[in-house]
């Protein structure tokens, strides 16, 4: 029996794009604000992501230029990592496409298709 041809190493390695300065800031502050959202009149006892992200936006707007420089430096470093990954042969991870349900056509009654003067 002939041997089967060995499979070529076709494993694709994926990389992710670099995060922006805002996302580094948000990742740092999100856990504290999510815990804070539990005590801010949250009725159902769950973490309120909307509250946390709103507060992060307000905090980011009020951050001084010196503090933003820290996050800008982190973003630049991540951008360089991404560019290096692309040079090393990695590719962007493709987005998952959601399958949409096919909508059923609603059937129009015969009376709507034909004016009142139609016989039949």
Other CB atoms within a 10 A radius of the CB of residue 96 amount to: 6
Could you tell me the residue ranges of all domains in the chain? 14-92
Phi first, then psi: give them for residue 15, nearest 5 degrees: -130, 165
- Closest listed residue to residue 24, CA positions, set 59, 74, 66, 83: 74
pLDDT tens string 68-94: 999 999 999 999 999 999 898 888 877
- Residue 44, pLDDT above cutoff 90: no
- To the nearest 5 percent, what fractions of the chain are helix, strand and coil? 50, 5, 50
Least confident of 3-12, 64-73, 76-85, 107-116: 3-12
CATH of domain 14-92: 1.10.30.10
């Amino acid at each position: 029996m002939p041997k089967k041809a060995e499979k070529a190493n076709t494993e694709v390695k994926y990389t992710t794009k670099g995060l922006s300065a805002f996302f580094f800031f948000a990742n740092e502050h999100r856990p504290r604000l999510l815990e804070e959202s539990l005590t801010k009149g949250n009725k159902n006892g769950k973490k309120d992501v909307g509250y946390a992200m709103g507060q992060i936006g307000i905090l980011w707007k009020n951050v001084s230029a010196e503090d933003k420089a820290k996050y800008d430096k982190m973003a630049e470093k991540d951008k360089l990592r991404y560019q290096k990954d692309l040079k090393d042969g990695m590719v962007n991870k493709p987005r998952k496409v959601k399958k949409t349900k096919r909508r059923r056509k609603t059937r129009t009654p015969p009376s709507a298709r034909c004016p009142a003067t139609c016989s039949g």
